[in-house]
Amino acid sequence: MKLSSLCRRTALAVLLAVAPATAAPDSGNGEKMGEVASTVARMLESAHYSRQRLNDEVEPGVTQARKALDRYLELLDYNRLFFTQKDIDEFTKTYGDKLQNDIMLSDLSAAHRIYDRFLERVAARVDKVKDLLDKDFTFDSDRTAQINRDKAPWPADEAEADEIWSARVEAEMLQAILAEQALEEAAAKKKDGEDTAEASSDNNGGLPKRTPKEQVQRRYERLLKSLQEENREDQSSTFLSALAQSYDPHSEYMSQRALDNFNIQMGLSLVGIGAELRSEDGYAKIQRLVPGGPAERGGKLKVNDRIVAVAQGDGEFEDVVDMKLDKVVERIRGKKGSTVRLQVLSAASLDPSKLDVIPIVRDEVKLKDEEAKAQIIDATGEDGRDTRVGIITLPSFYADMGRGGAPKSTTRDVTALLNRLKREGIEGLIIDLRRDSGGSLEEAVRLTGLFIPKGPVVLAKDTNGSISEMRDPDPGVLWDGPLIVLMNRLSASASEIFAAALQDYGRAIVVGDEKSFGKGTVQTLLEVDRFLPLFAKARQAGALKLTIQKFYRVKGGSTQLRGVGSDIVLPSLTDQDDVGEGALKNPLAYDEVPARSFTPFGNSNELLPGLRAASEARVARNPEFSYILEDRARLQERIEENTVSLNKKERLAEIEEDKARRETRLAERKTLTGPKFAALEVTLDTVKAPELQPVALDKPPKRSLEDSDEPDPSAPDEEEPYVDPVRDEAVLIMQDWVRLEGKPPVTARAGAAE
């Protein structure tokens, strides 16, 4: 991953068009959210793992309700830019001691008044931003702007806030100007040889070009407009999320909209048009078309098209320009077989006033990028022998949650892939859980059972202190050969259960970051409507994701906070202290329970010292890991500095320095000779194919969430090759493992027919 991309990574709004078509009005559920709030509070007090009551003192002088108030303020103004300390003191004095009573009495007026004040502050600040943008910027001072203010104190008053905003707006103007210059330089280099359609696409899809000033001003106008669109139900949902998160970072209130999206992610199946959208300049822009989805099959909707209006069937079009992205998605969602019509600005059109009308019949869409997938790698050693290694990549532990759609199961899919890998003669297996944030606990236990005989997999303790265990009841083992689990600090929850069990059984070697994320808690999903009083039943009242247990390894230690430590640590950019459970708000503590009796299965612990020593020697010689260590040190330095220069010359010098460093690195990479690998790809679509297709390992894997497409002024002229030294080193560790066990070499090379 490029350092600059990591530093500037943005949260990409990826939403797929899927279910009902209208936004909730202020009436209906909005009027009943007070009853929903008191019900959620009672559920938290009685069923959350901590059993804390809202009026319990959880810190000196701080009640649980006060923590909820603090969390609500953080969710609204996470960067501490709009509220002042005077506002915070007023809220604390007015609501701090009475909030728990208000919630239990179904009174959310405090949350609504605070939101109204926030809206006032944002509106006033947007007006001041317009005034700031009218000044002439010279960008020649020695001033700096703070990047992240989430840990900074609130501005003492409006005067201090004005100083903060003056630097912030100047920094955004400078960034917009530098980005515009980078675009112009890139466009000039690409101009020769482009056809009309390509030129039009690069020219903002035929839309009016905005100046840097207009870009910054429009950004804040869109922010204000999106906040103004929040109705009382939306505001109440935000407050209830803050209430749940005050107990621990993984408890959460889900509105019906959020619940629908959660079910989609778990089931990997949806009904819609099969398009990923992102918000850009007020438009919902087509980011990607899902292969095989209705939009791609229709052939008319294209990547970079911008949606202007949406109509249901033969109904009237509704303008969606400057509408919040999730509300645009709601209007595109619908039942299977129904028709939605999109009015779009084509990215290829030369006429910015010409709108295309594209009808699409909604249908079931499979989220293929989130499914398990595999590769077969033939690694050629210095002696000319091949070691055939299988890699199965798991983006999540998904499962059909019993809410309709085609049934999905991580274990079932991995079984199909692994059976094909075995038929292809693999000698070792790698399970890649990097970036796997977890999912279904049951799937984690079932998947573990593919690699161990029957026995305990994970222990769980509830709020009463009762300890239960989840076991693999099946003595069968699908794979008993060498096994490596790849993890990093983004591997969490179910991933950690799986890896910890295999590590404790001596069944696998864990390779990757120093430790995994450290989420050792169990959540359940409770639909709130089931717990509402009969007189207050609200259709689609959402759900409460509630932490009810902590889980533990079979040896007794929790993965909470500490995660799963790697047996062999490899340098990576994700191995940072600010990534993981300990960096979140209100995490539960680490503890232990008595260990369970189990029979180890495997010899990984015996081979570990030799494998670790060989790996450490290779890592020390590998320039790619040197690059990672260099980039990680620079990234940590920038995080600690947390400032950006407002001097244009200094910024340009930094950009040129970064560009020169990357060009030097690119030139060095051309002289490097990496491992000799050849690979085949195995997906659930090709698992039964007569022949498997080769795949290039120097291309990045497809993901639903991509890096920001914001231009990178420091990027070299030539595109950097994709490298994954952690994956490559894992393959080499596996090659060592196979050789140490003395198994005969595989004679078939990658690319041979089955």
- Residue 28, sorted as left (phi over 0), alpha (psi -120 to 50) or beta, turns out to be left
List 102, 260, 413, 504, catalytic entry: 504
436 is catalytic: no
Known catalytic membership, residue 519:
yes
- β-pairing verdict for 643-645 and 57-59: unpaired
- Which residue, 500, 459, 499, 505, is CA-closest to 480? 505
**Distance from C-alpha of 116 to C-alpha of 337, rounded to nearest angstrom:** 41
CA distance 405 to 19: 13
What secondary structure, in 3-state letters, does 630-685 show? HHHHHHHHHHHHCEEECCHHHHHHHHHHHHHHHHHHHHHHHHCCCCEEEEEEECCC
Ramachandran category for residue 753: left, alpha or beta (phi over 0 → left; psi -120 to 50 → alpha): beta
Q: State the virtual CA torsion across 188, 189, 195, 199 in degrees, nearest 10.
A: -40
Which residue(s) pair with 465 in the sheet? none
Give the β-pairing of 269-272 and 363-366: antiparallel
User: CA–CA separation, 732 vs 381, rounded Å?
Assistant: 9
**Spatial separation of the C-alpha atoms in residues 234 and 255, rounded to whole Å:** 8
> For 234, phi and psi rounded to 5 degrees?
-60, -45
**Cα dihedral across residues 436, 441, 442, 444: positive or negative:** positive
The pair of three-digit structure tokens given for residue 648, joined into one six-digit string: 């244009």
Angle (CA) 453 391 615, round 5°: 95
Q: Give the DSSP H/E element, type plus range, for residue 386.
A: strand 386-393
504 is catalytic: yes
Return the DSSP state at 587. Answer: P
3 state DSSP class of 252: strand
Give me the catalytic one of 251, 396, 440, 493: 493
Instruction: Write down the residue that tokens 């991580």 correspond to.
Output: 410
Return the SS3 of 166: helix
Asked if 457 contacts 470 with a C-beta cutoff of 8 angstroms, the reply is yes
Q: Enter the DSSP assignment of 402.
A: S
Q: Which of 519, 714, 728, 736 is catalytic?
A: 519
Crossing angle, helix 212-228 and helix 109-133, to 10 degrees?
A: 170
Contact in structure between 572 and 3 (CB atoms under 8 Å): no
Q: Which residues are catalytic?
A: 493, 504, 519
